[in-house]
C-alpha cells in the first residue's frame, strides 16, 4: 500500500526544510521531503573537502539580516560565530574596497583630486550615505558625474556583463539601483545589524532542522519526476523551478548559471580578504576564500573561483533568476496557471517564486507561507 503524507515537500533547501519543520512540529503534519540532490541544505550546502576544509559547494554564502524573527527562528538550530564580510576589487592594478567607498577613492586618485571628489560627494549627499551609481550619473554636478562614469566603467560594467552575459541596460533597473557607492570609510560589504555565520556550518544547522524529526521522512536523490505514484499526499510545497513543473508549457524562465573551480593551497591565507572581485580583468568574477567565511584555520586553504555561464536546463544548475521585466511577466503567467491548475500546490522559494532571495529572505518567506497555511488549515 502507498504511504500517505499530508504534505509532499519538493526541495530540502531553506524553503522546504523550514516548512517541513514547521508543519510537523507545529501542526503535527506528516511530511515527505524530497530533493534531487544527494544532500540536504540546497544551495547553502557545505561539506569538507579532501584537505579537511569546510567549503560552500554552491558558492560563498554569508549570512546577514536585519530581521530579528529570522535570527530567533534559526537560533533554535545553531549557535553563531561573528563574521563581517569584506570584499576588495582588483582595479587599475590595485585592490580597493567594494562597494566603492572613500578609501577606494583615496587609493585610486592622487590626494588633491581625491580630496576634491570627497568634498563634492559629502557636500551633495552627506557622510554614511549609500548612493546608487545611477543616481550619481544623473547628478547636476559635473565632477560627480565624471566620478560616477569612472566607477561605472572600472567597477560595475565589466562585473555586470560577466555576471549576467547582458548589457546593464538589458537588466531591470533594480540591478543598477542595488549597486551603491558608499560615502563612508566603513569597508564592510553589508551593514546589517546581524552578521554571523552558523558556528558549525550550514549543513549541520539543516541536519537539526530536518533530520530525525518526528513526522518527517527525507528522500534524497529523488526528483519530483521520480516520485510519480509511489506515495500519496494531500498537499504539496514545490520549491523547485515553476516552469519545469509545468513542463515549460509557457516557455523557459531564463537563469544564469555558475561554474566553481575549487583550488586548495598549502598556505594559511591565499588572498587579503574573504572575497576578491575582478571587475575588469579575467574571465571569472570573484575568488572567495572559505577559511575567512568559516573562521577555521589550517595549514591549507581552499578558494572558489567563480565563472558565470549560460544556463542549459538539464545540464547546469539554475542559480540566479535573470532580473528582466519580460522574465517577471512570464513568471506571473506561470503563477496564474498554478492558481488555475494546481490549487493544492504552494510554489515558493528561489526557484518557485523565480526571485533572488538572500537566505534571510528565503527563511522569512518560508515562515510566512507557514503562517498562511496555519491560518487556513485543511
Ligand atoms: C552563488 C550563490 C551565492 C549566494 N550567496 C548568498 C549569500 O552570501 N548570502 C545570502 O543570504 N544568500 C546567498 N545566496 C542565496 C541562497 O542560496 C538562497 O537564499 C537559498 O538557497 C534559497 O533557498 P531555497 O530553499 O529557496 O532554494 P535552494 O537552496 O535552491 O533549494 C531548492 C532545492 O530544491 C531542489 N529541487 C529543485 N527542483 C527539484 C525537483 N524537481 N525535484 C526534487 N528536488 C528539486 C534543489 O535540488 C535544491 O536543493 C546565494 C545564492 C547563490 C546562487
Question: Per-residue pLDDT tens for 38-65?
Answer: 999 999 999 999 999 999 999 999 999 9
Residue 19: HSE in the Cβ half-sphere, 13 Å Cα cutoff: 34
In this structure, are strands 87-91 and 94-98 parallel, antiparallel, or unpaired?
Answer: antiparallel
Rounded Cα distance between 334 and 329, Å, is 9
- Report the interhelical angle of 14-27 vs 202-210 (nearest 10°): 30
For 29, the 3-state DSSP assignment is: coil
User: What's the gap in Å between 239 CA and the centre of ligand 1?
Assistant: 9
Q: Which three cell numbers stand for residue 177?
A: 539601483
Question: Considering the chain, what percentage of its residues have pLDDT values greater than 90?
Answer: 90
Q: Which three cell numbers stand for residue 63?
A: 549570512
User: What's the gap in Å between 319 CA and the centre of ligand 1?
Assistant: 7
| pLDDT for 168 | 86
Q: Inform me whether the pLDDT recorded for 22 exceeds 80.
A: yes
Rounded Cα distance between 258 and 285, Å, is 10
| pLDDT for 169 | 85
pLDDT tier for residue 67 given thresholds of 50, 70 and 90: very high
3-state helix vs strand vs coil in the chain, percent to 5: 40, 25, 40
pLDDT tier for residue 81 given thresholds of 50, 70 and 90: very high
Q: What's the whole-number mean pLDDT along residues 246-259? A: 96
The CA–CA distances, whole Å, from 133 to 36, 153, 188 equal 40, 11, 18
Per residue in 88-132, pLDDT tens? 999 999 999 999 999 999 999 999 999 999 999 999 999 999 999
Cβ(185)–Cβ(103) under 8 Å?
A: yes
Global pTM reads: 0.96
pLDDT tier for residue 134 given thresholds of 50, 70 and 90: confident
Q: Which three cell numbers stand for residue 216?
A: 518527517
The reply to whether ligand 1 has any atom less than 6 angstroms from the CB of 291 is no
The reply to whether ligand 1 has any atom less than 6 angstroms from the CB of 13 is yes
Rounded Cα distance between 29 and 214, Å, is 10
For 220, the 3-state DSSP assignment is: strand
In this structure, are strands 345-347 and 231-238 parallel, antiparallel, or unpaired?
Answer: parallel
Cβ(175)–Cβ(168) under 8 Å?
A: yes
| CA dihedral of residues 147, 151, 153, 158 (deg, nearest 10) | -170
Cβ(277)–Cβ(189) under 8 Å?
A: no
User: What's the gap in Å between 378 CA and the centre of ligand 1?
Assistant: 28
Q: Inform me whether the pLDDT recorded for 292 exceeds 80.
A: yes
Q: Inform me whether the pLDDT recorded for 173 exceeds 90.
A: no
DSSP readout, 274-337?
SEEE-SSSSSS-EEEEHHHHH----S-EEEEEEEEEE--TTTS---EE---HHHHHHHHHHHHH
Question: Considering the chain, what percentage of its residues have pLDDT values greater than 70?
Answer: 99
Ligand 1 site-directed mutation target among 209, 218, 230, 239, most atoms within 8 Å of CB: 239
Rounded Cα distance between 351 and 369, Å, is 15
| pLDDT for 175 | 76
The reply to whether ligand 1 has any atom less than 6 angstroms from the CB of 61 is yes
The reply to whether ligand 1 has any atom less than 6 angstroms from the CB of 223 is yes
| pLDDT for 323 | 87
Atom in ligand 1 nearest the alpha carbon of residue 43 = 29
| pLDDT for 314 | 86
Rounded Cα distance between 32 and 4, Å, is 9
User: What's the gap in Å between 240 CA and the centre of ligand 1?
Assistant: 9
Q: What's the whole-number mean pLDDT along residues 175-187? A: 87
Closest-CA residue to 212 (of 374, 70, 369, 24): 24
The reply to whether ligand 1 has any atom less than 6 angstroms from the CB of 359 is yes
Atom in ligand 1 nearest the alpha carbon of residue 58 = 1
Q: What's the whole-number mean pLDDT along residues 7-34? A: 98
Rounded Cα distance between 64 and 180, Å, is 18
Nearest CA owner, ligand 1 atom 26: 349
Nearest CA owner, ligand 1 atom 49: 42
Closest-CA residue to 83 (of 357, 292, 360): 292
Instruction: List the domains of the chain with CATH numbers.
Output: 3-40+211-254+322-375 (3.40.50.720), 87-183 (no CATH)
Q: Inform me whether the pLDDT recorded for 227 exceeds 90.
A: no
Q: What's the whole-number mean pLDDT along residues 6-27? A: 98
User: What's the gap in Å between 210 CA and the centre of ligand 1?
Assistant: 16
Closest-CA residue to 274 (of 202, 194, 356, 188): 188
The residue whose grid cell reads 560565530 is: 81
Per residue in 329-349, pLDDT tens? 999 999 999 999 998 999 999
Q: Inform me whether the pLDDT recorded for 316 exceeds 90.
A: yes
User: What's the gap in Å between 12 CA and the centre of ligand 1?
Assistant: 9
Nearest CA owner, ligand 1 atom 48: 42
The mean pLDDT of the chain is 95
The reply to whether ligand 1 has any atom less than 6 angstroms from the CB of 353 is no
Closest-CA residue to 77 (of 155, 115, 25): 25
Cβ(323)–Cβ(175) under 8 Å?
A: yes
Amino acid at each position: 500500500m502507498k504511504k500517505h503524507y499530508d504534505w509532499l515537500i519538493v526541495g530540502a533547501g531553506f524553503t522546504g526544510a523550514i516548512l517541513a519543520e514547521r508543519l510537523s512540529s507545529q501542526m503535527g503534519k506528516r511530511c515527505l521531503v524530497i530533493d534531487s540532490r544527494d544532500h540536504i541544505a540546497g544551495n547553502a550546502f557545505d561539506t569538507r573537502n579532501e584537505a579537511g576544509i569546510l567549503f560552500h559547494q554552491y558558492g560563498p554564502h554569508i549570512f546577514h539580516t536585519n530581521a530579528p524573527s529570522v535570527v530567533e527562528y534559526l537560533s533554535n538550530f545553531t549557535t553563531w560565530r561573528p563574521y563581517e564580510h569584506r570584499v576588495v576589487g582588483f582595479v587599475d592594478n590595485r585592490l580597493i574596497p567594494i562597494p566603492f567607498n572613500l578609501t577606494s577613492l583615496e587609493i585610486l586618485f592622487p590626494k588633491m583630486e581625491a580630496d576634491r571628489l570627497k568634498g563634492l560627494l559629502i557636500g551633495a549627499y552627506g557622510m554614511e550615505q549609500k548612493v546608487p551609481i545611477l543616481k550619481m550619473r544623473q547628478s547636476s554636478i559635473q565632477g560627480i558625474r565624471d566620478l560616477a562614469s569612472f566607477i561605472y566603467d572600472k567597477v560595475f560594467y565589466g562585473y555586470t556583463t560577466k555576471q549576467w552575459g547582458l548589457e546593464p541596460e538589458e537588466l531591470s533597473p533594480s540591478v543598477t539601483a542595488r549597486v551603491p557607492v558608499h560615502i563612508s570609510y566603513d569597508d564592510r560589504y553589508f551593514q546589517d545589524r546581524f552578521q554571523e555565520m552558523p558556528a558549525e556550518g550550514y549543513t549541520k544547522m539543516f541536519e537539526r532542522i530536518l533530520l530525525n524529526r518526528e513526522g518527517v521522512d527525507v528522500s534524497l536523490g529523488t526528483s519530483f519526476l521520480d516520485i510519480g505514484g509511489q506515495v500519496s499526499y494531500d498537499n504539496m510545497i514545490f520549491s523547485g523551478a515553476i516552469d519545469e513543473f509545468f513542463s515549460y508549457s509557457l516557455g523557459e524562465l531564463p537563469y544564469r548559471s555558475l561554474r566553481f573551480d575549487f583550488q586548495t593551497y598549502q598556505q594559511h591565507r591565499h588572498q587579503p580578504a574573504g572575497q576578491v572581485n575582478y571587475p575588469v580583468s579575467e574571465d571569472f568574477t570573484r575568488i572567495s576564500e572559505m577559511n575567512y567565511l568559516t573562521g577555521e584555520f589550517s595549514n591549507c586553504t581552499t578558494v572558489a573561483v567563480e565563472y558565470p555561464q549560460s544556463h542549459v536546463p538539464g545540464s547546469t544548475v539554475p542559480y540566479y533568476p535573470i532580473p528582466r521585466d519580460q522574465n517577471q511577466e512570464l513568471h506571473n503567467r506561470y503563477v496564474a496557471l498554478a492558481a488555475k491548475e494546481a490549487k493544492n500546490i504552494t510554489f515558493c522559494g528561489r526557484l518557485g517564486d523565480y526571485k533572488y532571495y538572500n537566505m534571510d529572505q528565503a527563511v522569512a518567506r518560508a515562515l510566512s507561507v507557514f503562517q498562511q497555511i496555519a491560518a487556513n488549515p485543511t
